[in-house]
Structure 1
Amino acid sequence: MRALTLDVGGEVFAIEATSVREILDMVPVTEVPNAPAFVAGLINVRGRVVPLADLRVKFGMEHRPPDDDTRIVVFEITLEEEPTVVGMLADRVHTVCDIALSTMEPAPKVGMRWRPEFVRGIAKHDGNFIIVPEMNRVFSTEGAGTANSENETRAG
C-alpha cells in the first residue's frame, strides 16, 4: 500500500496515498455549533467547503493548538456511498512510503486507546509500528463520538 505517514499525538498513522488530494498549511477554521466534538470546523479548500477533523479528539488524545509543523491533509473518503472530501489535522506530515500489507496485523484488543472499528490494522515499516486507520469509519456519522465517550467535548 502506498501511504502518506503523519504524526498525530505522538503516534504515526498511515493513510492511503491515492486518497490524498493535497497537504495544506494551517488556514482559518470556521467553528460549527453542535458539530461532533472531533470536527474542528470547516475550511475553504479552493472554493469548496470541507469539514476538518481533529483525530486527537476522536481517539481520546489531549487537544493541542496548531504549531509551525501542523498541516491539514485533505483527502477523499466514501461516506454513505458518496465520495466526500474531508480535511484532517496532522501534527506533522512525514513521507509517502510503501507499506507491505503482509506486515499489517489486526489491532490488539488490549492496550489500545482507540475503538477497534477505527483501526484497519497495525503495520510495520522500517522497524516501527504504524497505525492504519479505517478512515471511512472514523468519519462516518455512526462513529461520530470519541474513542472514550459519545458525549465528550473538545477541550481547549
Structure 2
Amino acid sequence: MNLPVNSKPPLKVDAAEAQTEEDQYLTFTLQQEMFAIGILNIKEILEYGQLTTVPLMPDFIRGVINLRGAVVPVIDLGARFGGCQSEITKRTCIVIIEVACDGEHQDLGVVVDTVSEVLEIPENNIQPAPTFGTHIRADFIEKMGKVNGKFVIILDVNKVLSVEEMASVSQIAEASVD
C-alpha cells in the first residue's frame, strides 16, 4: 500500500487555493489520541514493513527503510513523545514527512497507529498551543484544531523531527554505552 500525497503546490496558485492547502491536515492516531500534520509536509504513506534496525540507536528510532534508493530513518512517535514504542498492527503505517535541516530538506518516516483522513480545518477552528496539560512536550505542539467538537493536536514537525536534537540524543545514548 503506497499512497502518494501531493506535497508540492501547483506552479500557479491563487490565494484561495493556497489558503485551502495550508488548512489541510493529515490526521492519524497514536496511542488512542488524534494528531495532525500539515499536508504540505507529507510526501507519502507506506504500509509498515521492510525496516532495517540500526544498532545503538535511541528507542524512538525504529530503523531505516529503502525508499526508491534513499535511506530514510523511521521514528516511532510514541517513543519520541517519551512513552513506549508503538505496538505494530495491521493498520500501522509509516508516514514519510519532509523536514527542514540546515537549509535543506530531508525525508523522515514516522510510525503511526492508523492514518485517519485529510481534514480541512478552517483558521477560526484553530487555537494556540497550550503551555501545559498534554502528555507531550509543549514545543512539539504547533496549535490545536477543533474538529467535530474535539481537539486535534497539530504537531510542529520541525520540532518533533528536529534532526539536530535527535542526533544529539543519539550521541548521548552512544556515550552512555561506552
The answer to whether 1:56 aligns with 2:84 is: no
**8 Å contact kept, 1:26–1:72:** yes
**8 Å contact kept, 2:132–2:138:** no
The answer to whether 1:39 aligns with 2:61 is: yes
**8 Å contact kept, 1:2–1:98:** yes
After TM superposition, the structure 1 stretch with the greater mean CA deviation from structure 2, 15-24 or 134-143, is 134-143
Q: Show CA shifts across 1:71-102 (max 9, x none).
A: 11112111222111111111000111101233
Inter-partner Cα distance in structure 2 for 1:69 and 1:90: 9
Inter-partner Cα distance in structure 2 for 1:112 and 1:58: 14
Partner of 2:117: 95
Aligned residues: 147
Q: CA deviation at 1:118?
A: 0.9
Which residue of 88, 97, 119 maps to 1:75?
97
Counting only pairs closer than 5 Å after superposition, residues 73-152 of structure 1 correspond to structure 2 as: 73-144=95-166
Give the CA RMSD over aligned residues: 1.8
* Structure 1, unaligned runs of 5 or more: 152-156
Q: CA deviation at 1:143?
A: 3.4
Q: CA deviation at 1:65?
A: 2.6
Q: CA deviation at 1:7?
A: 0.6
Partner of 2:51: 29
Q: Show CA shifts across 1:4-63 (max 9, x none).
A: 111111111111112211111112211122333311110111221101011101112332
TM-score normalised by structure 2 residue count: 0.75
**8 Å contact kept, 2:27–2:115:** yes
Counting only pairs closer than 5 Å after superposition, residues 11-26 of structure 1 correspond to structure 2 as: 11-26=33-48
Structure whose alpha-carbon radius of gyration is higher? 2
**8 Å contact kept, 1:38–1:144:** no
TM-score normalised by structure 1 residue count: 0.85
Q: CA deviation at 1:142?
A: 4.4
Q: CA deviation at 1:144?
A: 2.6
Structure 1 outlier segments of 4+, above 3 Å? none
Q: What is the percent sequence identity of the aligned residues?
A: 34
The residue identity in structure 1 corresponding to 2:118 is: V
- Higher relative helix content: 2
**8 Å contact kept, 1:25–1:72:** yes
